[in-house]
Amino acid sequence: MLNNKYFLLFLRLVVGGVFIWAAVTKIADPLSFAQDVKNYRLVGHNLSFITAIFLPWVELVAGVCLIIGVFPRSSALLISGLLLFFIILVTITLIRGIDVDCGCFGTFSRRADLWLILEDSLWLAMSLILLFSPGNQFCLLKKAG
């Protein structure tokens, strides 16, 4: 199944689509997302605003590139790194006993909890399949050079 070009395309569409949706909801309301970032109590006021402006655009570009197949492995690597960071962030937040909205989907966000960690772990598994799969069909640009 990991060599099935249609399955891999399906994963690219699903994972990329989720990242595009998450990005657009944050881009639509950067002040709310900045507050979500600040609520994690890991960065200060200024860095939360910088993150709220920068991170959604990174998610958007990674999602679009994954879907259209522009450097799909690089996009999958970036998405995997983001997901790993999100999993670690939520885990640390839960250990610290801080109750926050995840900020994942802007105003559609929910509580950062164990289910979120499990869900992000599933997304991470899917992005790692894309990263390490031998086949990459239906792509505009597969690698540099």
Per-domain residue ranges of the chain: 5-132
3-state SS assignment for residue 71 = coil
Q: What's the pLDDT band for 122 if we cut at 50, 70, 90?
A: very high
**Global confidence as pTM:** 0.89
Average pLDDT over every residue of 118-134: 94
At 137 the pLDDT is 67
Helices within the chain (DSSP H only): 5-28, 30-39, 45-68, 72-95, 114-132
pLDDT at 144 over 60: no
- The alpha carbon of residue 70 and the mean position of all alpha carbons in its chain are separated, in whole angstroms, by 17
Token code pair at residue 129: 């399949």
Q: Is the pLDDT of residue 40 over 70?
A: yes
How many C-beta neighbours within 10 Å does residue 100 have? 20
Q: How confident is the model at residue 93 (pLDDT cuts 50, 70, 90)?
A: very high
Q: What is the pLDDT of residues 47-69, one digit of tens each?
A: 999 999 999 999 999 999 999 98
pLDDT computed for residue 145 by the predictor: 36
| pLDDT average, residue stretch 114-128 | 96
Q: Are 43 and 113 within 8 A, CB to CB?
A: no
User: Above 80 in pLDDT, residue 109?
Assistant: no
Contact (CB, 8 A) for 65 and 71: yes
> What one-character DSSP code corresponds to residue 111?
B
